[in-house]
Amino acid sequence: MPHTERKELRPEETDQRLLSPGGQPTLWKHMDSIQPVELWQDEGTSGCPQEGFSCSPDSSELVQECLNQFKVTGTQLRQIQASLLGSMEQALRGQASPTAAVRMLPTYVWSTPHGTEQGDFVVLELGATGASLRVLWVTLTGTEGHRIEPQSQEFLIPQEVMLGPGQQLFDFAARCLSEFLDALPVGNQSLQLGFNFSFPCHQTGLDRSTLIYWTKGFRCSGVEGQDVVQLLRDAIERQGAYSIDVVAVVNDTVGTMMGCEPGSEPCEVGLVVDTGTNACYMEEARHVAVLDEDRGRVCVSIEWGSFGDDEALGPVLTTFDHILDQESVNPGAQRFEKMIGGLYLGELVRQVLAHLAQHGILFGGCTSPALLSQGSILLEHVAEMEDPLAGTARVHAILQDLGLSPGASDAKLVQHVCVAVCTRAAQLCAAALAAVLTHLQHSREQQALQIAVATGGRVFERHSRFLSILQETVKLLAPGCDVSFTPSVDGGGRGVAMVTAVAARLAAHRRLLEETLAPFRLKHEQLAMVQAQMREAMAKGLQGEASSLRMLPTYVRATPDGSERGDFLALDLGGTNFRVLLVHVATEGVEITSQVYSIPECVAQGSGQQLFDHIVDCILDFQQKHGLSGQSLPLGFTFSFPCRQLGLDQGILLNWTKGFNASDCEGQDVVCLLREALARRQAVKLNVVAIVNDTVGTMMSCGYEDPRCEVGLIVGTGTNACYMEELRNVAGVAGSSGHMCINMEWGAFGDDGSLDMLSTCFDASVDQASINPGKQRFEKMISGMYLGEIVRHILLHLTSLGVLFRGQQIQLLQTRDIFKTKFLSEIESDSLALRQVRAILEDLGLPLTSDDALIVLEVCQAVSQRAAQLCGAGVAAVVEKIRENRGLEELTVSVGVDGTLYKLHPHFSRLVAATVQELAPHCVVTFLQSEDGSGKGAALVTAVACRLARLARV
């Protein structure tokens, strides 16, 4: 072909034509063996067609005008892409009008194939092939098995059945089913059936679909407005031959997506270009307003054939499109489909050929009755005439069958007409697909979307060039999407069976998941039982009787009343770091100055004298830095190790934890050890007033802000509670009036077996692997140290059942403590989309599907909800006891809370409060988050003790 330049019709669009990488217009790409009609002209030439065409300049202009109508610029394609994208998102939000361009219908298909689906399935296909019905037996063999080809049988539907009563049609379908199954060794087995019903329907569930109107020559009465699945079920029941469960009703587009062989990328888009055209894709359920569902993905059928009915396609509609539309059975409707669908491509070609013939450019100006008859040129003819490998002989043969006498140059011009019509169809289809891909990329917030698109339909099957143009155009319009195209394997048969199989898999997995999590879903009666048992254990513990609750007196006799004033020192020892705090309590509030000191490992595990000397050295350093040297300040000591308290300033260390093992300390009064160290450093003059645990410090810290705060709660790595008890109820402590703060040590609740009925096998596994089997049972069901481990054991169990990770054992998941409790807080965060949940879990080496991410989320929710409800039942027991102690109809009380699980988990605090309200309806409970209970709280315990001491002296 000689060097040419474009004869510009619209100069402003020169740089907007979609070009191939070599700069050649995509219209002619892949047509190297066909010389196109010269729509380009050499400099200085007349512009007449070359290669033997003998026509006048006027004829050349007419050819050019006809074919240029089918050219679509890059700008126009992007406008179509943007317009369809806007229509999709409007329809998803439920804002579309009844005559909307696209309908975005949820199909209630919630998952794509894993490749593990197995079993035998029956498929009934009605409407996909016109006046026939197809029944298939499809065997799926999972990942390992070789594929078994479906068995099928086609039944011609009599005209009187297509036009008769609806019951007659469905009874005919049921008889065909029975006849087909009679030839198979079915026996008495229960069969699962997928129903491919290819008519416009309103679907309200996977197995519920109401026919909107008949098409394709069907006019059965009494069906429109009815659930076609129920009509089929009724007919099968009347037939009575087989036990068949209609699991799913599926359209062919969804079947196409689901029939795609699993590959390296998830196949989450289905594209059909057959008689008509449509697409579907996996949408985030939270984006589909009509579903009112915020989790997972659902397949949405776009119903894009009607796109452009609102004139959005006006700029690219040709004269021939308008003629075709007006002569169709539905003028003004399905405008997009009429530019793309296989039913219409041949008709568009016929319109152009007739136009050119009538103007004397083709066939010597002669037409034929066939050329002027609607529907005489089919998709198959277009594909064959355009095929460069077939040469012009096949074109001549097809034209002669139409009663035409093509000349020497006519065949090539006819080929170019076919190229123009089909190229435009592929490019328009690509623009629509690019809109879907762009939406997916943005909604999933992915810089590079990697996805597979399943293709199906006769246009893809019979027109090899259509897919290559589609792919090339999609790359240009959606450059951030890495798309692989995969031919679907019998979407109407195997694809529908796959939908059925996936639905069966999800249902089976749902049953197994519910069975696994059922023990974690506590009923009101169970929580009320926990509350009652805790009340009983509290009463026994207070009286010194055998109980899993030790109910230890703390010798804290009052909460702050707001009159406390002065400067106090606080010490906080509970881990590898040690804090010294100066707490100034004034009318304006509390002011804290603090410094952190490290406890070297050699000190933590050396002698007791060495440890307490180090503590005093830190106090001395703090005093010197803050101008406190020589001052004797009251001191509160938060000592977060197990102690038996004998007075406010007496605490016997029972045993070290948290990596401490200083010698000669266990069994000793730690306040005495501190005082002895102070005496050895005579420069330090301090008055150790109180030893405090962090639970009491939490209550006191919040009590300064709210005088009604009489309960302290810790829910972090561990859990504990304290509260103000009537002194008369505390055995072993002198006095019968006033109050005493009781350290419940409730983590051990249930160690006597009282919680066994709520304990699961997963709790037992966590307990047995702990450093203290059989102890701290309540804590092991509630606190942050253990919840992640409970989840890990559940995930292992679900994997062994095949519910998770396709049943593949994940080695990393075998590692103890790999699943941190902080992951529960992150996974359950409402602000995180499911893709971020997947990222969190994939960082753990868990190869997740969307289904897996949802299941892990549900497991985390069940475990954390049980923990919060048990915690709430404990708080309800405490506040109810306070109310009854005081003989009140209604108690108003506040609970001071600290701990990372309570503070960081997105739902824990709400669930605790809801449970308390449910179990203690006569108590108005406010939860306050503590600020520095172990520091500020210890100082306030000291301040209250000093206030009470002054009052006693007075």
Could you give the CA distance from residue 178 to residue 396 in angstroms, rounded to a whole number?
48
Helix, coil or strand: residue 876: helix
DSSP bridge pairs for 456: 272
Place of tokens 């306030």: 940
- CA-to-CA dists, residue 867 to 255, 711, 870, angstroms: 43, 19, 5
Could you give the CA distance from residue 395 to residue 33 in angstroms, rounded to a whole number?
14
Please give the backbone phi and psi of residue 455, each rounded to the nearest 5 degrees, phi first. -115, 145
Using CA atoms in the order 501, 505, 506, 509, what is the torsion angle rounded to 10 degrees? Answer: 170
CA-wise closest residue to 457 among 335, 343, 330, 347: 343
Could you give the CA distance from residue 809 to residue 723 in angstroms, rounded to a whole number?
47
- In the 3-class helix/strand/coil scheme, how is 124-180 assigned residue by residue? EEECCCCCEEEEEEEEEECCCCCCCCCEEEEEECCHHHHCCEHHHHHHHHHHHHHHH
Active site residue: 640, 825, 864, 894, which one? Answer: 640
- CA-to-CA dists, residue 579 to 172, 598, 856, 872, 897, angstroms: 84, 9, 39, 32, 21
In sequence order, the 6+-apart residues with CB closer than 8 A to the CB of 412 are 34, 35, 36, 37, 51, 392
In the annotation, is 579 catalytic? yes
Q: Check if the beta carbon of residue 677 is closer than 8 Å to that of residue 624.
A: no
DSSP bridge pairs for 134: 125, 154
- CA-to-CA dists, residue 572 to 318, 527, 579, 696, angstroms: 82, 35, 5, 13
Please give the backbone phi and psi of residue 38, each rounded to the nearest 5 degrees, phi first. -75, 95
- CA-to-CA dists, residue 123 to 174, 218, 269, 306, angstroms: 12, 20, 22, 28
Q: Count CB neighbours of 563 within 10 A.
A: 10
Q: Check if the beta carbon of residue 268 is closer than 8 Å to that of residue 282.
A: yes
In sequence order, the 6+-apart residues with CB closer than 8 A to the CB of 664 are 607, 608, 609
Q: Check if the beta carbon of residue 713 is closer than 8 Å to that of residue 545.
A: no
In sequence order, the 6+-apart residues with CB closer than 8 A to the CB of 663 are 606, 607, 608
Report how far Cα 615 is from the mean position of its chain's Cα atoms: 51
Active site residue: 335, 579, 777, 883, which one? Answer: 579
Could you give the CA distance from residue 292 to residue 359 in angstroms, rounded to a whole number?
58
Place of tokens 């995930």: 795
Active site residue: 207, 252, 490, 694, which one? Answer: 694
Q: Check if the beta carbon of residue 250 is closer than 8 Å to that of residue 270.
A: no
Helix, coil or strand: residue 277: strand
Residues with catalytic function: 579, 640, 694
